[in-house]
């Protein structure tokens, strides 16, 4: 029998925990004025969500769309974990179809965990062998999570020793107003530094003086204390 979104919802509700939901809601800052204000959690851990994703990995895209449009955070998260599985195992066309679906629904990919679990495989994996111009468009979006998708997706390129887009998009985001973008950009640049330290240092030599401190601290986390101090002391 072909699985449905309704069946997946029922499976989630059968294992939901109010106690876990209360802790998760505090962790993700769902209070008034917070970045996840109004988001609803039913209380399912990520390892458990991954198990459910394996059980429902054959859900069709219309069924995934139903989950992704849900007000329940774990339903959106499940849809993305399934999409990751479909992208990773699929043909080039399947991967591109999954990415196109993803980019049509970014208004529902609205928290850092949702972006970070999915963008490298679904978006980065699709754009590895084709024009990456859409990532530049995302990086200029007014929607915070589009911009995070743009930089986090490039982590897939880094795994293939391809760093140009990470550096280009990081430069676009240097003066972004959102701390959640500073953290993601710094973390992604640090991944470049793990592969090519000289390339990260060259980027920092050009931009450390004007980078947001959160971004810079994340970039230089693996540097020696003396080198971290040197970069943090740089000013225009």
The tokens for 86 are 């479909």
Q: Backbone phi, then psi, for 217, in 5-degree steps?
A: -60, -40
User: What average pLDDT does the chain have?
Assistant: 96
Q: Quick one: pLDDT at residue 213? A: 95
Is the pLDDT at 140 greater than 90? The verdict is: yes
Q: Which of 58, 122, 51 is nearest to 84 (CA)?
A: 122
Rounded-to-10 torsion of CA 157, 158, 163, 164? 20
pLDDT at 216 over 90: yes
With a cut of 90, say whether residue 166 has pLDDT above it.
Answer: yes
Are 210 and 203 within 8 A, CB to CB? no
Cα torsion 66, 31, 48, 53 to 10°: value is: 20
Q: pLDDT tens for residues 78-126?
A: 999 999 999 998 888 999 999 999 999 999 999 999 999 999 999 999 9
Cβ atoms of 140 and 172 within 8 Å: the answer is yes
**Dihedral angle, C-alpha 90, 96, 101, 103, nearest 10 °:** 130
Confidence at residue 39, expressed as pLDDT on a 0 to 100 scale: 92
Side-chain half-sphere CA neighbours of 139 within 13 A: 24
What is the secondary structure of 145-167 as a DSSP string? HHHHHHHHHTHHHHHTT--HHHH
Helix (H, G, I), strand (E, B) or coil at 66: helix
Phi/psi for 40 (5° steps) reads: -115, 130
Name all domains of the chain by residue range, CATH numbers in brackets: 1-129 (1.20.1660), 131-236 (1.25.40)
For the whole model, what pTM was predicted? 0.95
Query: How does residue 33 score in pLDDT terms, banded at 50, 70 and 90?
Result: confident
Nearest to 71 by CA among 24, 27, 119, 110: 110
Predicted confidence (pLDDT) per residue in 52-64, tens digit: 999 999 999 999 9
Angle at 80 between CA 76 and CA 83, to 5 degrees: 140
Q: Is the pLDDT of residue 1 over 80?
A: no
List CB contacts of 209: < 8 A, sequence separation 6 or more: 234, 235, 236
């Amino acid at each position: 029998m072909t699985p449905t979104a309704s069946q997946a919802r029922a499976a989630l509700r059968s294992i939901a925990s109010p106690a876990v939901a209360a802790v998760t809601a505090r962790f993700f800052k769902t209070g008034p004025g917070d970045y996840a204000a109004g988001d609803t959690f039913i209380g399912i851990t990520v390892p458990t969500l991954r198990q459910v994703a394996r059980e429902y990995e054959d859900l069709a895209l219309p069924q995934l769309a139903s989950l992704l449009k849900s007000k329940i955070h774990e339903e959106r998260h499940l849809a993305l974990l399934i999409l990751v599985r479909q992208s990773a195992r699929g043909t080039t066309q399947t991967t591109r179809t999954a990415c196109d679906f993803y980019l049509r629904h970014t208004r529902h990919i609205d928290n850092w965990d949702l972006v970070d679990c999915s963008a490298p495989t679904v978006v980065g994996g699709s754009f590895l062998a084709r024009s990456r111009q859409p990532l530049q468009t995302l990086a200029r979006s007014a929607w915070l999570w589009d911009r995070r998708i743009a930089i986090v997706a490039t982590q897939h390129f880094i795994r293939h020793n391809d760093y140009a887009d990470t550096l280009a998009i990081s430069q676009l985001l240097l003066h972004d107003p959102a701390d959640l973008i500073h953290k993601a950009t710094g973390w992604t640049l640090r991944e470049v530094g793990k592969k090519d330290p000289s390339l990260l240092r060259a980027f920092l030599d050009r931009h450390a003086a004007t980078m947001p401190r959160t971004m810079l601290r994340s970039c230089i986390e693996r540097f020696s204390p003396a080198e971290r101090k040197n970069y943090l002391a740089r000013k225009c």
